[in-house]
Amino acid sequence: MAIIALVSAKGSPGVTTSALAAALTWHRRLVLAECDPAGGSILAGYLGGALDGPRGIGELAVGELRDGNLDSAFWSQLVDLDAPHRERLLLPGVVDPTQSGSVTPLWQRFADFFTGLDRGAPPYDVLVDCGRLHVANPPWPLLRAASVVLVVTRSELPDLSAARATVTAIERDFGEHRVPPGTLRLLLVGGGHGRSEISRALRLPVIARLPDDPRTAKVLALGGTVRAGRPLMRAAAGLEVPVGALLDRRRARLAWPVQQGVPDAI
């Protein structure tokens, strides 16, 4: 599936919680990459800071700028979320937002590298937590390289207004950079207005809805035992299906003119 990016429309509607819940229930091999310029939170929260030293995208950025060693250093910077299987891996984000300056020049390098993981042996999907879009130095190259971009939003009117602004900004950027259409979708968190109503209002399909589940959200934020039967985890486990179906349709649409021998028709 290559890159699936999650971006927040406003504030903190649960992007990291949603991404972590999806990562823990993903059926294919997956790397969850924390690429929020404001900093990552999974190490200090869900994992309780229990590591034997600095690790993550900040360390990779420093090494890449100094030695150009991303290809060789990448796997040593990951944390196994389901040890020892190496099937659900975490690339922690920057610990201090001031470190994002070292990562910013490398967003395109990371985008290219993540894209290649889908063709590795074994292949890995990459779920990217991009955080909020309206911050300094957002990871635009990752969004442009993504096969699917999910705008995570709650469904009350103030949230939907912010989501509309975020969707408009992404659509404008994608148009300027000639990103193929069909990558953008909404991921709703919690109750509120109905899916079809929101889709019509924002002129964008809703791919799924994750329920409010404060008990599980607290575990994902602060650590503890994740229970697969909880509402949030059950819904997150189903997210892979519509994402995969969207990718299959998009790939078929993009490949059809080539198969017909008329590539100029794209």
Question: Which residue's structure tokens are 């889908």?
Answer: 118
In whole angstroms, what is the distance from residue 151 CA to residue 15 CA?
A: 9
DSSP per-residue letters across 7-18:
EESSS-SSHHHH
Dihedrals phi, psi of 46, to nearest 5 degrees: -60, -40
What is the DSSP pairing of strand 3-8 with strand 88-91?
A: unpaired
| Residues shown for the chain | 266
Structure tokens at 194: 């109905």
**Helix, strand or coil for residue 115?**
helix
Q: What is the tens place of the pLDDT at every residue in 43-91?
A: 889 998 777 668 899 999 999 999 999 999 999 999 999 988 899 999 9
* Residue percentage of the chain with pLDDT more than 90: 70
Domains of the chain, with CATH numbers?
3-256 (3.40.50.300)
Under the banding of pLDDT at 50, 70 and 90, the label for residue 257 is low
Largest distance between two CA atoms of the chain:
55
Under the banding of pLDDT at 50, 70 and 90, the label for residue 157 is confident
pTM of the model: 0.92
CB contact at 8 A, 195 and 216: no
In whole angstroms, what is the distance from residue 205 CA to residue 161 CA?
A: 16
* Residue percentage of the chain with pLDDT more than 70: 92
Q: Would the pLDDT of 11 be above 70?
A: no
Q: Would the pLDDT of 264 be above 60?
A: no
Under the banding of pLDDT at 50, 70 and 90, the label for residue 122 is very high
CB contact at 8 A, 7 and 130: yes
Q: Which residues pair with 3 in a beta bridge?
A: 126
**In the chain, at which residue ranges do the beta strands (DSSP E only) sit?**
3-8, 30-34, 79-80, 88-91, 125-132, 148-155, 184-192, 206-210
Tell me the mean pLDDT in the region 107-120.
95
